[in-house]
Amino acid sequence: MNNRSLANTTVLIIGAGPTRIGQSGECDAGAVEAAMALNAAGCRIIALDSNPDAVLTDLEDVVTAYVEPLQPDDLEEIIRIEKPDAILPIFGGRPGLHLIEQWNEHPLHTTAQPEVWGSPAASLAQVLDKDGLRSALAAIQLQTLNIFTVADADEAAAKAQSLEYPVVLRCDDPDILVDGVMVYNQDELRASAAAVTPESGVSLSVEASLMTWQQIEVEMLRDKQGQTILAGAVEYVDSAGIHPGDAIAVFPTQTVPDDILAALQTHARRIVDHLGIVGCATIRFALQSPGRPVLITAVHPRYTRTSAMVERATGMPIASLAALLAAGLTWDQVPEHLTPSRMKQINPNLVAVKWPCWAFDRLTKVTDRLGPQMQALGQALGLGSTFEEAFHKAMRAADTDRDGFSARESETVPALPELLTECAQPTSRRQFTVYEALKQNANAGALAAVTHIAPWFIERIQSLTVIEAEICRFKGVVPPEDLLRKAKCKGFADSYLARLLDLQEADLRSARIRMGVTPGWLTVSRPVGPDGALRYAAYDSRHTAKATTTDKHVVIIGNGPVRIGRGLECDHAIFHAAGAAKAMGFTPVVVNNSLTSITTGHGGPGACFCDVLCPETIQAVADALHPMGIVTQFAAPSIVRRLHAADDVGAPLLGLSAAQLQVIHDRAALRQQFRQLGIPQPLAAQPRNMDEARKAAETIGYPLWLHRTGVRSDLPLQLVLDKESLDAFFSRAGADDGISLFMESFLEYAIEAQVDVLCDGEDVFVAPVVEHIELAGVHAGDSAWVVPPYSIAPRHIETINDYAMKCAMALGIRGLLNLRFAVYRDTVYLLDASCDICRDLALMQKSAGLSLADWSIRVLLGNCLRDLPLKSPQLPYFSVRSAVFPFNVFTQEDPLLGPQMKSTGSVLALSASFGMAYFKALEAAANPLPTEGTVLITVTDEDKASILEPARVLQEQGFNIKATQGTRDHLAEHGIEATLVNKLGFGRPNLVDDMKNGQVQMVINTPSGDQSHQDDSYIRTTAIRRRIANITTPASAVAAAKGIAARRQGRISVAPIKLP
């Protein structure tokens, strides 16, 4: 390659922003690989991303990094400062492409005009618009899905009749349809479109459902001279009527004939040539039957989930290649070790399966029904030598809370007719329902017809039920070697087989190993050395490849797929920890199974073993590598508990002992330990029945928390306001069902804070204190944070630091510990301790330059704190982290924040003033605050005093204030003028009418009691749908008012972060 073509070229790489439904970590993983490849080619890298958990903005290959909102103004300012030669947006997901589209139209373009690498601006505009794409493809005689615009429900019904049900109905009014909805009959259609009339001005459209069509995606790579390479094709198990992000996928294609696949490749090549796409592109097709037209349903000229899947399944460095090709290199200029012709496919029988991960258990008001709107957050990856093996692994990796497809003994399995009815409904549980139906001898052809899943896949699932039936014939004994090997080759887990056989898992595993039924660790082809290999286990006797052993191996347990509660922050921590282990001379090996993680891609600092996170896998890895230790610091608590409970996992678990974990996870034992230190804690009790609970509640006082300490997963943490609420809880839970409860006083209106502590057993380092902007009662992951604290008194900060050091020493911690405190009535209370929280490590890295993940693994591997470059910086700026929520997708869910975490990701903003940092953070989170207009205030009696300050600030900034009767009267008593607005049910127009009519720019609405809860929920939901700034706590209202005031008084500025 001629490096001089890119030498000294300054390129700005745009990241994708926060994790959202439809966008996980694949963009950051791709951006990291791209930055490394471009840096190696001589480029000077500038990075922009608003996500604190992005590795891109920490990367050594990046010269300057910006953590700023992905907005045209901010991009324009960065261009003015840095004067880049080029911009690379293809790793920014859809937000990155939209940002470039907006910037192209920006009226304040500087004289500097950097080149945009990738697709031409005209092509971007076409692919981002359905009508534009249809016109572009029609020019080359390719067909897209017909979309019919109609005037009202009557016309929609007529068109639907001609298309045949089911159909997809869409409109541009968020109060009618947020996104496409599948309707199966005329009644459902009319109900969905009832509000649309010719006079309403609403655009309504009808399109044919693709529920009976097959869905295929093709990944292409193209250089500027038009030379195109097919990277791979992915087949979806579920039909094209289900969003590909919610559909199970397999690579390579299993049921698509070679001639059809060749035709799709030809179509894809014509598309990228016609649009002039340079770099990578994912083309989505819908097929119905041979001889019928092929539909193009999407063209993505960027790095996608499919790009990541093909990359991990083939070893082809798609992100690196796409970056270099987009930069203008041709195939003959690409480094030889990256070119597909130099790739050696170690195992051509590799099968990869992607399994989506949903959050229906947390979002309890959301209906579990899959369709045209994506609802999954993370994506699990299963690799195997057969489809069945990869299918099994992907299901288990997806955190489905199952180790096999059969129902548990505690679950009731419906009769076959009911199962067949359930199979017809596309839900997150359908594969399990299909399995149970096949166990009851359902006809495979009939299941294929009702589910629209190809018969080949149904037959493969059926083969698993046959093996299970064979296994069950050997109750109480270990099956013969050939049958056990057969089951393992098809992906059956030891724990599942042990349950079927009524054996202990450890006994079965020991017997299996004695028989010689052990996995070989196979390597996915890689263009780099063995340290960067992606490996997977396979039990096929043909495969005997073993990993290289060395006493310098360190195994790091990964986080698994992204989900609510554990996201990219864990991957961020693992990336830095693995890098630190490598710098110490160890060989880091990560065990992970997330499709979108940087650790399973080319950008990780070491090898990755892709498999299910369970004791069976960890022991197999340890048997292959003989590592010096296993790091569990960044793994999910469930796997850590299982590893400690296992008799032997083949290597020492570094960090906390089982006894230490037991104390930390036992609230009563933890409180007792801290009580001995003299640290204040909220009043608490452990009632054994309803009568004891009532007595304890009277002693503690309402409101109070009810912590579930039993096994019932459907009873989350509860906030009990009064005796009636307590009785209602027991009515729902049952008084005699064996639930163990922990009751604790709720410190209402307390300010919460958290702090990370690093300890080596002798010395303690306390990181800066992080203040929660929302008051007590909001989950720490959903609250906005600020560092340094902006309202906690210095003496309380000192107390928190003192308590943190005492706690770490008392627990004997070696590694990281997270402590949560509350400042209540001038006293600091300790609320909780955790050793498995990663979510603020990236914040410390970017805002304070503290490499806590790096330092923690150094401590676990033998370093002392006094040997590390520890520092406690005095920060001259505020860093505000704001959560990002999926309420625009899950409109049934109340956006009210509480103890159950609902956010999917976060953003970060830095500024010299707290108000400006908060304003920028909300802008980055796509929930911008207005700088003028009308604010609607309706709050509870308890919150009226707290709302005076923000109301006064907003009035001083020129805002008009509308308020409901009680709130208006309270404001008037304190000299704040407000216009009366009717509450729901008290006349029209009411406050929701004003919101829908565009007369309100911000809503401050705190929750009322149960009687008014439905009205409050409707207000908040309307605000979300209408994209009106929505504030639900007094503390957030104060922060918002400060942010608006800061923005009105000064111009938003951008500045690079200082990488440690």
- The band of 714, judged by pLDDT with boundaries at 50, 70 and 90, is very low
Residue 647: the pLDDT is 73
Phi then psi for residue 103, to 5 deg, are: -65, -35
Question: Taking 90 as the threshold, does the pLDDT of residue 1021 lie above it?
Answer: no
pLDDT tens digit string along 669-688?
Answer: 889 999 999 999 999 998 88
Residue 137 DSSP one-character state: H
DSSP-assigned letters across all residues of 248-272? -EEES-SSS-HHHHHHHHHHHHHHH
DSSP-assigned letters across all residues of 269-301? HHHHHHHT--EEEEEEEEE-STTSPPEEEEEE-
Specify the higher pLDDT residue, 503 or 161: 503
Q: Taking residues 848-877, what's their average pLDDT?
A: 91
Question: Taking 90 as the threshold, does the pLDDT of residue 668 lie above it?
Answer: no
Phi then psi for residue 874, to 5 deg, are: -95, 105
What gap in Å lies between CA 519 and CA 613, rounded to an integer?
A: 15
Residue 542: the pLDDT is 59
Q: Which CATH architecture has domain 378-515?
A: Orthogonal Bundle (1.10)
Residue 1012: the pLDDT is 53
Residue 77: the pLDDT is 92
- The band of 549, judged by pLDDT with boundaries at 50, 70 and 90, is low
- Homologous superfamily (CATH) for 751-875: ATP-grasp fold, B domain (3.30.470.20)
What are the domain boundaries of the chain? 3-117, 130-141+211-341, 146-208, 378-515, 683-737, 751-875, 915-1049
Q: Taking residues 420-439, what's their average pLDDT?
A: 95
Question: Taking 90 as the threshold, does the pLDDT of residue 223 lie above it?
Answer: yes
Of 521, 525, 529, give the one whose Cα is nearest residue 555.
521
Residue 667 near residue 673, CB atoms below 8 Å: no
Half-sphere exposure of 44 (CA within 13 A, CB side): 9
Long-range (24+ apart) CB contacts under 8 A made by 334-342 are 334/1, 335/1, 335/40, 337/527, 337/528, 338/37, 338/527, 340/229, 340/231, 340/316, 342/527
Residue 298: how many CB atoms within 10 A of its CB? 17
Q: Which of 22-26, 357-361, 416-420 has the highest mean pLDDT?
A: 416-420
Specify the higher pLDDT residue, 324 or 1036: 324
Of 550, 534, 687, 570, give the one whose Cα is nearest residue 625.
550
Specify the higher pLDDT residue, 565 or 845: 845
Residue 4: how many CB atoms within 10 A of its CB? 9
Mean pLDDT is lowest, of 283-287, 298-302, 380-384, 886-890, for: 886-890
What gap in Å lies between CA 880 and CA 916, rounded to an integer?
A: 9
Angle between helices 455-471 and 430-439 (to 10 degrees): 60
Q: Taking residues 549-577, what's their average pLDDT?
A: 89
Residue 958: the pLDDT is 95
Query: In the chain, helix, strand, coil percent, each to 5?
Result: 40, 20, 40
Residue 680: the pLDDT is 96
Secondary structure (3-state) at 586: coil
Residue 529: the pLDDT is 45
Element (H, E) at 966: helix 965-973
Q: Taking residues 821-828, what's their average pLDDT?
A: 95
pLDDT tens digit string along 442-460?
Answer: 999 999 999 999 999 999 9
Question: Taking 60 as the threshold, does the pLDDT of residue 343 lie above it?
Answer: no
Structure tokens at 364: 């309890």
Mean pLDDT is lowest, of 232-236, 665-669, 714-718, 895-899, for: 714-718
- The band of 713, judged by pLDDT with boundaries at 50, 70 and 90, is very low
Question: Taking 60 as the threshold, does the pLDDT of residue 575 lie above it?
Answer: yes
Residue 679: the pLDDT is 95
Question: Taking 60 as the threshold, does the pLDDT of residue 1042 lie above it?
Answer: yes
pLDDT tens digit string along 388-421?
Answer: 999 999 999 997 678 999 988 778 899 999 999 9
Specify the higher pLDDT residue, 51 or 647: 51
Q: Which of 37-51, 163-177, 389-403, 558-572 has the highest mean pLDDT?
A: 37-51
Q: Taking residues 978-987, what's their average pLDDT?
A: 90
Question: Taking 80 as the threshold, does the pLDDT of residue 174 lie above it?
Answer: no
Residue 346: the pLDDT is 45
What gap in Å lies between CA 123 and CA 107, rounded to an integer?
A: 21
What gap in Å lies between CA 775 and CA 753, rounded to an integer?
A: 10
pLDDT tens digit string along 731-750?
Answer: 776 655 556 788 999 998 89
β-bridge pairing 785-787 and 770-775: antiparallel
Secondary structure (3-state) at 792: coil
Element (H, E) at 64: strand 62-66
Residue 1013: the pLDDT is 54
Residue 146: the pLDDT is 86
Q: Which amino acid is at 248?
A: I
Mean pLDDT is lowest, of 39-43, 190-194, 849-853, for: 190-194
pLDDT tens digit string along 983-1007?
Answer: 888 888 999 999 988 899 999 998 7
Q: Taking residues 52-71, what's their average pLDDT?
A: 94
What gap in Å lies between CA 567 and CA 569, rounded to an integer?
A: 5
Residue 545: the pLDDT is 47
- Homologous superfamily (CATH) for 130-141+211-341: ATP-grasp fold, B domain (3.30.470.20)
- ∠122-145-127 over CA atoms, to 5°? 15
**Is the domain covering 915-1049 a CATH 3.40.50.1380 domain?**
yes
228 DSSP β-pair partners: 222
What gap in Å lies between CA 815 and CA 861, rounded to an integer?
A: 10
Structure tokens at 140: 């080359």
Question: In the predicted model, what is the mean pLDDT of the chain?
Answer: 89
Residue 787 near residue 843, CB atoms below 8 Å: yes
**Is the domain covering 683-737 a CATH 3.30.1490 domain?**
yes
Q: Taking residues 568-591, what's their average pLDDT?
A: 94
Q: Taking residues 122-146, what's their average pLDDT?
A: 88
Residue 272: the pLDDT is 97
The Cα diameter of the chain in Å comes to 85
Question: Taking 80 as the threshold, does the pLDDT of residue 701 lie above it?
Answer: yes
pLDDT tens digit string along 911-938?
Answer: 999 999 999 999 999 889 999 999 999 9
Residue 743 near residue 697, CB atoms below 8 Å: yes
DSSP-assigned letters across all residues of 552-569? TEEEEE---S-BTTB-HH
Spatial strand order in the sheet of 143-144: 143-144, 295-300, 279-287, 214-222, 228-236, 249-251, 351-357, 378-384
Of 1049, 831, 864, 1060, give the one whose Cα is nearest residue 953.
1049
Secondary structure (3-state) at 875: coil
pLDDT tens digit string along 849-859?
Answer: 999 999 999 99
Q: Selecting from 3.40.47.10, 3.40.50.1100, 2.40.50.100, 3.30.1490.20, what CATH number does the domain 146-208 have?
A: 3.30.1490.20
**Is the domain covering 3-117 a CATH 3.10.310.10 domain?**
no
Residue 482: the pLDDT is 95
Same fold, 146-208 and 683-737: yes
**Tally of residues, the chain:** 1060
Mean pLDDT is lowest, of 190-194, 637-641, 660-664, for: 190-194
What gap in Å lies between CA 459 and CA 273, rounded to an integer?
A: 39
Mean pLDDT is lowest, of 47-61, 360-374, 521-535, for: 521-535
Residue 899: how many CB atoms within 10 A of its CB? 18
Of 444, 222, 249, give the one whose Cα is nearest residue 331.
222
Residue 750 near residue 776, CB atoms below 8 Å: yes
